[in-house]
Amino acid sequence: MKVLDAEFVKGFIRMADDGWNQGWHERNGGNLTYRIKSEEVELVKENFEPKQWQAIGTTVPALANEYFLVTGSGKYFRNVSIKPEDSICIIEVDDKGENYRIVWGLVNGGSPTSELPSHLMNMEVKKLQNPNYRVIYHAHTTNIIALTFVLPLDGKVFTRELWEMATECPVVFPSGIGVVDWMVPGGREIAVETSKLMAKHDLVIWAHHGMFAAGEDFDLTFGLMHTAEKSAEILVKMLSMQPNKRQTITPDEFRHLAKDFNVELPEEYLYEK
C-alpha cells in the first residue's frame, strides 16, 4: 500500500490541517508525532528507503526498533496536506534507542522536528505507563501562551483556573496540567523537564511558547489540546472583562461532578482560595 493511502497517515494529515485551521501553527510552529502500530508498518514498509542513521540527542530504550510518523524540522503545518511527502517523514529508531533514520518522506531533504527529543522522551514515558498512547502534539496555542504572562507558572494554578472555565475540563483532563518554566526549546534539557511532568499529566505547558499534549489517538489528543486552549480563551475573555470572578464552580461542586462522572479529581487542585 502507498504510504499516503494508509488510514494512520490520513489521520495525521487531517490533524495537522485542523491545528493549522485553529491558528496554532504560524510559519513552522508546532510539531506532531505518531508511534506507528506494527501492523501499520507492515502495510507500508514496501515503500521504505532507509537513509543514514543520526543521533536522536537523547536515549529512549523503550522505543527501540519502533517507527514514527513525524513532521519535518522547519516545515509548515499549512503545507502538510498539500505536499505531505515534502513536509513529513517516517523514522525508525535503532535497537538501543539512541539513533534514528528516515525511511520515507522529506523527499526534498531535511530532518524530523527540532523537538524530536521532547517528542520521543514524552512518548517513552507514556508508552511505559500505557502502551495504547501513540500521539504527541506540540502547538503554539495562543490563549494558553497569553496566560503564562499573567498566572503564576504553577501547574496547580493553571489546572484549577482552566477547570473552572468550562465544566467539561476536569472530566477531559482530570490529571491536570504541568508547567515548564521558560527554557531554550529544541534540546534534551527541555525534553527531560517536560517528560518528568508527562509522567503525571497528559498536558504540559511551555511558558511563553506553547503546549504539549499526549494521547491514544488523533481525536483524543487533538480534542485535549482544543479543550484546554478553549478554556484558556474563556479565561482570557473573563480577565479582560474584569479581574475577579463574580461566581464560579466551587471545590465541593467539583467533588460532586467527580462522583457523578466517575472521575478522580486530585484534592491538590481543590484548594481553598
Nearer to Zn ion, 84 or 210 (CB): 210
Q: What is the smallest separation between the CB atom of 24 and ligand 2HA, expressed in angstroms?
A: 10
Q: Clarify whether 168 is annotated catalytic.
A: no
Residue 55 contacts residue 68 (beta carbons within 8 Å) = no
28 binds, among Zn ion, ligand 2HA, none (CB under 5 to 8 A by kind): ligand 2HA
Q: Does 175 bind ligand 2HA (CB under 6 A)?
A: no
Residue nearest to Zn ion (CB): 210
- Other CB atoms within a 10 A radius of the CB of residue 181 amount to 12
- Reading phi first (left if > 0) and then psi (alpha if -120 to 50, else beta), residue 68 is in beta
Piece of 52-60, 76-84, 202-210, 229-237 that binds Zn ion (CB under 5 A):
202-210
Residue 204: strand pairing partners: 178, 212
Contacts with ligand 2HA by CB under 6 A: the residue count is: 8
Residue 210: strand pairing partners: 206
- C-alpha atoms less than 13 angstroms from C-alpha of 244 in its C-beta half-sphere: 2
Piece of 41-49, 142-150, 209-217, 235-243 that binds Zn ion (CB under 5 A):
209-217
31 binds, among Zn ion, ligand 2HA, none (CB under 5 to 8 A by kind): ligand 2HA
Query: CA 229, 29, 77, 5: dihedral to nearest 10 degrees?
Result: -90
Residue entry with cell 504527541: 136
Query: Looking at 115, 164, 193, 229, which residue is catalytic?
Result: 115
Nearer to ligand 2HA, 180 or 265 (CB): 180
Q: Per CB under 6 A, which of residues 3..32 are in contact with ligand 2HA?
A: 28-31
Q: Which three cell numbers stand for residue 193?
A: 523537564
DSSP 3-state assignment of 112? strand
**Which one of 57, 174, 185, 187 is in contact with ligand 2HA (CB under 6 A)?**
185
Q: What CA–CA distance (Å, rounded) separates 228 from 99?
A: 34
Q: Does 110 bind ligand 2HA (CB under 6 A)?
A: no
58 binds, among Zn ion, ligand 2HA, none (CB under 5 to 8 A by kind): none
Q: Does 114 bind ligand 2HA (CB under 6 A)?
A: yes
Q: Is the dihedral of CA 11, 144, 73, 64 positive or negative?
A: negative
Maximum distance among all Cα pairs of the chain, rounded to whole angstroms: 61
The catalytic site residues sit at 115
* Residues at the interface with ligand 2HA (CB under 6 A): 28-31, 114-115, 138, 185
